Structure 1
């Protein structure tokens, strides 16, 4: 890869790691009972994650274009260049397709984490209501 491509893909990988760390933090906080979210706010956050994930479908389609570069001729230089584009799209660890799919999966996990926080909120709210009702009897 060229230096510019390396930087771009490295940046994407770092962004993916940051999203994964954020998702992990949310799940840890929910699991420890330290994070509950109003169900409406949690649903908005989850929907935002899903919208971003859906937006990545367009990016995935655009990445397909770099995997099928045509018109560079039958000369070795043209074929090598086409192969480099194909490799950038298809590399299983750091290619465009892999990064996009990983980001989509991470955004789904994050949406699930927000919804889990909303479930905890509801459970806490119901428990508090039950406790209050028992105290009034």
Structure 2
């Protein structure tokens, strides 16, 4: 059934699923942020920084994909017929429509990957601060 209405539904469902997966990533980042701010999660700085670097590298890759996807929205040369213009409009909406176009979703994913990297770095800072505090407390205890 190529070219049928079902193809459009399948494509839309793909974007809906991608949006739902992105929402899960946002929620995971929010939970991670809460754990860090409440002091329940601290990470070894070496491990946290390595993880942050991986997430930033992935964010860069996704951002490049987002830029490529946004260029898909500027399709030219399809002709002056109404059907050609309609097809060009569909490419534009699939590429970027402000909320769930391919470029939009990829940009939001890139932002969440960078946020995750920042969260790991924050957890590393908390680890170091806690370690320093324990050291100071031990010194005070041994002087008393």
TM-score relative to the length of structure 2: 0.87
CA distance in 2, matches of 1:24, 1:64: 28
Which consecutive unaligned segments of at least 5 residues does structure 2 have? 1-6
**Correspondence list, 1:42-61, <5 A:** 42-61=48-67
Of residues 80, 85, 90 in structure 1, which corresponds to 2:91?
85
CA distance in 2, matches of 1:7, 1:105: 23
Tell me whether 104-113 or 46-55 shows the greater mean CA deviation: 104-113
Tell me whether 106-115 or 22-31 shows the greater mean CA deviation: 106-115
Structure 1 residue 11: Cα displacement = 1.9
CA distance in 1, matches of 2:115, 2:71: 28
Tell me whether 126-135 or 63-72 shows the greater mean CA deviation: 63-72
Matched, 1:22 2:32: no
State how many pairs are aligned. 137
TM-score relative to the length of structure 1: 0.91
Structure 1 residue 90: Cα displacement = 2.2
Question: Aligned with 1:2: secondary structure?
Answer: helix
Structure 1 residue 129: Cα displacement = 0.8
CA distance in 1, matches of 2:68, 2:41: 38
Give per-residue Cα distances to partners, 1:61-96, cap 9 Å, x unaligned. Answer: 321342122332222112111111111222111112
The aligned residue for residue 119 of structure 1 is 125
Tell me whether 16-25 or 60-69 shows the greater mean CA deviation: 60-69
Which consecutive unaligned segments of at least 5 residues does structure 1 have? none
Alignment RMSD: 1.6
Structure 1 residue 4: Cα displacement = 2.3
Matched, 1:76 2:82: yes
